[in-house]
Amino acid sequence: MRQLISAGPVSSLPVMEHGSDRKTRVRRGARVWLALAAAVFALLAGSGLYLAVRNALDERRQQAAKQRAGQEFSRLSRCLVADTSPGATVGQRMRWRVLALASQPPEQQAGTAPSQWPGRCLPYAERLLTEARAAGLDEVAGPTAMLVQNKLNPEPRLLFDSLWEAAAQHLPAVHSDDEVPAPPAGAPPVLSSLKPVFHWDTVIVPLAGFSQRFLLPHAGSICSLRDDPPPHALVLARISSPPGVEGGSSLHLGVAEKGAPSLVFNWHAAAWRTDTAVRVGGDRTMNTYARADGSFVVLDREKEKGQQGRHVLLRCPAPSGGAPARECRREVLPLGWGGQFEFIDDHLVWRQAEKLMIARLFGPDDNLGQAVDLGSVPSGGWAAMSCRSEDRIALLYRTSETSHLALAAAGEWSTLRPVANGHSLSCHRHGATVTGFVQDGAVQVVQTSCTQASCATRRFPLATAMREHVPAQLEGSLLFAPRMERSPLHTVQVADLDGKLLLVWSHGETGGLRMRLAPIEEMEHAQDVVLFDPAEEHGVGQTHVVQLIQHGATALVLFESWLKSRAFVVDSSGKATGVGVVVQK
């Protein structure tokens, strides 16, 4: 029997798929993938659109913030300095305004109060900082944040320069017409470009008339003021010394007429001409006087065996051919031993007992003129100065505590009259004016004007000119570093210029060198003129007025800053002109 083999269920057998079904499935899968791709694309497109929109909105917000930052910077600039034209940095312009405010009353001083400059500009700086950060301008926000933290303190100035440089690069130029409080007026110091003339080490000795010469002993030079032809200049000439004669700091400068050669001497030793090194006079020189014609007079003390010595005037003609003058005429003086003698103008002045005596140096037959008793004077050390006008000579006798003045007209001397402690002396048509200081509680400037018959005195409180009100908020800052504790007598120089009082002083550590010029009755309301600012070179610095010297209707002022000396002249109109150095060959 045949055995039947089962092939299993029919469903388990392979089924042959038709081609149309496969295509359908492929199409269906493709549609799925396309749908997925479309969804992904749509998602990506939506995200990109979102990002694009967001970036566009951010860009618009940043641009708006940048525009607002430009507006706030414009307001800040107008509030702080207003003028930003080329020629000076913003820091310099800030400094000029500080200098202008430095001597004003407290309500006008620079400070952080809302009513004061630059404090009233702080809201603009704060809004600028907010907008700069919103605009992502770190270059602007950085210096602005530091200025806000310092409450716009004008120092250090480099922060302001950094902000203005960043604003020029990153902020739009925007001008706002809204009202902004204007900054105080400010201008560069009158002598801001004044160059140093030398390191200061000098002895100042007046010439006859209205000329000055200066001895620079360590430099081995003579310096004289030249005003003809203009401009003014300090003429520097080297000192030639005879062989074997010591110069240096022990030298003294003799008195000389205008146009005369300069004579120098070692005390109680030799004297010689500085241009030819030719020795003159004796060997124990006490003073010298040179004349414009080349002749000279030497005050000498002769040393004789067994005697204390006599004072003699050696009158020597002008040397010829560079040779020493050999025929000096001796004139023995009736002066006591150990006295003090001065050549003042063309006179010899000395103290005899308690009397001050004076005589013309060139009297009859070129001998010493008749001695005139000018009156009693206090004992102790003394010094004298003189000035001359067209028809008068004035003599100011000074001790450490008192001053006395005598006048001569047509050869007739008045007796000495007490005047305020004399600091400077000026001559005018009818007499002379002594300007100095008195300290009776507060320091006052005192001017005593004398004619041949009488004197009149006027006073001015020095503190009125030298106001130094320091805002409490800025106490101790570099901007308002306190003045060194020194007497005003060491920081202020005064003089009379053609009837006007001239004050020159250093206004604290960073207030600059200043002056006022006005009749003494009007000084309280006169304006300060800022002459020089040492902070231009070193950030801070004290200037010291070394000397103020009358020169006719002008004054020569020498001052020191950072071991460098500078010079300028002031005329009676208030014009200050820098003085340079000319080296004489």
- DSSP secondary structure letters along 304-350: -TTS--EEEEEEEPPPSTTPPP--PEEEE----TT--EEEETTEEEE
Residue 357 confidence (pLDDT):
92
Domain end, chosen from 344, 373, 390, is at 344
Residue 308 confidence (pLDDT):
61
Residue 304 confidence (pLDDT):
65
Say whether pLDDT at 469 is over 50. Answer: no
Say whether pLDDT at 36 is over 90. Answer: no
Angle between the N-to-C axes of helices 122-134 and 138-149, in degrees from 0 to 180, rounded to the nearest 10:
150
User: Which residues, at least 6 apart from 198, have a Cβ–Cβ distance to it below 8 Å?
Assistant: 216, 219, 223, 236, 565, 581
> What is the rounded average pLDDT of the residues 202-229?
66
Name residue 492's amino acid: V
> What is the rounded average pLDDT of the residues 177-184?
85
Say whether pLDDT at 9 is over 60. Answer: no
Residue 390 confidence (pLDDT):
82
- What's this model's pTM, rounded to 2 decimal places? 0.78
Residues 44 and 151 in one domain: yes
Whether residue 378 is contained in a domain is answered as no
Residues 48 and 165 in one domain: yes
32-36, 62-66, 499-503: which has the minimum mean pLDDT? 32-36
Whether residue 434 is contained in a domain is answered as no
Residue 487 confidence (pLDDT):
41
> What is the rounded average pLDDT of the residues 412-421?
91
Q: What is the per-residue pLDDT across 545-558, written as a single tens digit (0 to 9) for each?
A: 767 887 778 888 88
Residue 149 confidence (pLDDT):
94
pLDDT-based confidence at 512, cuts 50/70/90?
confident
Residues 53 and 158 in one domain: yes
Say whether pLDDT at 484 is over 60. Answer: no
Domain end, chosen from 147, 170, 193, is at 170
Percent pLDDT > 90 in the chain is: 27
Whether residue 433 is contained in a domain is answered as no
Average pLDDT value over all residues in the chain:
79
Residues 66 and 156 in one domain: yes
Percent pLDDT > 70 in the chain is: 74
The whole domain housing 298 covers 240-344
Whether residue 16 is contained in a domain is answered as no
CA-wise closest residue to 498 among 233, 212, 207, 210: 210
Structure tokens at 426: 């000026």
Whether residue 297 is contained in a domain is answered as yes
Task: Give, as one character, the DSSP assignment of residue 512.
Answer: -
Whether residue 296 is contained in a domain is answered as yes
Angle (CA) 112 118 124, round 5°:
100
> What is the rounded average pLDDT of the residues 232-255?
80
Residues 166 and 253 in one domain: no
Whether residue 524 is contained in a domain is answered as no
Say whether pLDDT at 384 is over 70. Answer: yes
Whether residue 123 is contained in a domain is answered as yes
- When divided into structural domains, the chain yields a total of 2
Residues 50 and 142 in one domain: yes
Q: What is the per-residue pLDDT across 83-96, written as a single tens digit (0 to 9) for each?
A: 777 778 898 898 88
Residues 146 and 250 in one domain: no
Domain end, chosen from 344, 378, 401, is at 344
Residues 81, 89: Cα–Cα separation, whole Å = 10
Say whether pLDDT at 22 is over 90. Answer: no
Residues 39 and 119 in one domain: yes
> What is the rounded average pLDDT of the residues 466-474?
42
Residues 273 and 160 in one domain: no
Q: What is the per-residue pLDDT across 299-335, written as a single tens digit (0 to 9) for each?
A: 988 776 555 678 889 998 887 665 555 678 889 887 6
Residue 46 confidence (pLDDT):
61
Task: Give, as one character, the DSSP assignment of residue 523.
Answer: G
